Amino acid sequence: MKKYLKNFLSGLLVISMLFGTSPMVFAANHPDTAQLKTAYNSIMTYAKTNKIPLNMTYQDFANNYDKAQYKNVQAYANVYYTLLKPQPQTQGYQTFSLSSLGGDSAWYYNTGTSLPQKANYSKYKLLDTCKSGDIIYEASGGFGITGHIAIVEGKFWSTVHNQYYIRVIEAIDVGVVRSILDDQRVDDKGSTVHRVNSANTTQISNAVKFCVGELGSSYGLDFAKDTSSSETDWYCSELAWASYKNQRIDIETTGFLNEPGITPRDIVRCSKVSTVSFK
């Protein structure tokens, strides 16, 4: 049903593009069009050569170009080369495949509603600190893009291991899934905790519900800025951003270091998001 609704909404968007004057549509006769197309093709070739699963359309690439921010097209293209990090050949191409995250030690990914093994909370104060709706930034990892973002679903009780644990929702290679956050993951991935300053209880609850509703959607690295619940694919930071954007809170930075699409660093650099100490 999601797929058909998305196709319907896409059709409406095409109609509005044809008959409207949306500023998001990059004019075909723009003076930088030829250079943008060349840069786009080069970036897509780079991604394919390095086995980075980039699904970006030319329209999204062009719409992200802001001449006020980038002095020319080459400077804009260079940002993508900085963001897109190929995996070492010894690890295969899927940055978020379990094999590239330490094999069986990466037990905390795609766990569903269960706790596969006892979680460790002896080193950090994660259980006391993390709240539903918090954003987890990870410096290591990102499935072809620098950094990674997950959103805290909440704290849950495991009757099997007789403990509370922190569950997150995130978009990884297998799609939008539930996973676990504990001390081991913090150390493995360089995790930090962030909170949306102005969000009230209702907005936080609805943001989390939005992410829950996207469980099972596929992963898609495209640097787009989708917000619809009918979207069928997400990249990590886009999902967290969309969950709050639908609550009328934009957690993308507006500063000079704003990157194409919604990157993990865009979110942690946003003035509406604060870092929470858990050590």
Taking only the tens place, the pLDDT of each residue in 74-93 is: 999 999 998 887 654 333 32
pLDDT at 16 over 60: no
Within-domain flag for 234: yes
Within-domain flag for 152: yes
pLDDT at 232 over 80: yes
Number of domains in the chain: 1
Within-domain flag for 35: no
Tell me the CATH number at 258: 3.90.1720.10
pLDDT at 209 over 80: yes
**CB-based contacts of 99: which residues, under 8 Å, 6+ apart?**
91, 92
pLDDT at 145: 64
Average pLDDT for 192-210: 98
Average pLDDT for 121-144: 89
Percent of the chain with pLDDT over 70: 79
Within-domain flag for 105: yes
Within-domain flag for 240: yes
Within-domain flag for 14: no
Q: Which domain holds residue 249?
A: 91-276
Average pLDDT for 215-227: 93
Within-domain flag for 71: no
Within-domain flag for 183: yes
